[in-house]
Amino acid sequence: MALRQIRQYGDDILTKKAKPVREFGGSLHLLLDDMWDTLREQEGLGLAAPQVGALRQVFIVELGEDTYELINPKLVEFDGVNERVEACLSIPGKQGNVERPASVKMEALDRNGDAFVIETDDEMLVTVLCHELDHLHGILFLEKATNIQDRVDLEDEEEEN
């Protein structure tokens, strides 16, 4: 396992549509393992394969104890609207308000090619799932964001309150 370089805003790969995964096994597992190492090193919540230079429909999410690996994900249902402040490992130093669904149902495959479904109305999980899914379609949060500004660290924000 290894750390991979996170592609930064301006890199063309971030604006391209990822290709579906057709083969499950060695190279996919290596990519996923490297993505986990990279995400944890960067202390992020989610990471899509295009962000590490792999144009494949793969993303991972880690929220607390819960981890998710989604291969060839599809948003099949969504409802409601929530707005949250988002940031991105590929766009360091920026944040903005983005409207996302209040609940989602997403179908995907796991690292072995087995199908599963995530249904959730957890605001943070919905936000991260949709943010990472956008990456697979070449969409960056800046394209949907309002009130884009320099990122405020949570610790700084808490000191101000």
For residue 102, the tally of other CB atoms under 10 A from its CB is: 13
Structural domain includes residue 7: no
Parts of the chain with a pLDDT under 70: 1, 152-161
In this predicted structure, what is the pLDDT of residue 1? 67
To the query of whether residue 123 is one of the catalytic residues in this protein, the response is: no
E strand or H helix that includes residue 86 = strand 82-88
Rounded Cα–Cα distance for residues 35 and 10 (Å): 21
Query: Is the full-model pTM beyond 0.75?
Result: yes
Residue span of the structural domain in which 94 resides: 12-160
pLDDT at 151: 78
Tell me if 2 is assigned to some domain: no
Instruction: Give the sign of the dihedral formed by CA 69, CA 75, CA 77, CA 81.
Output: positive
Query: What's the total number of domains in the chain?
Result: 1
Task: Say what the pLDDT of residue 157 is.
Answer: 45
Q: Which of 77, 132, 143, 157 is catalytic?
A: 132
Q: Give me the pLDDT at residue 26, please.
A: 92
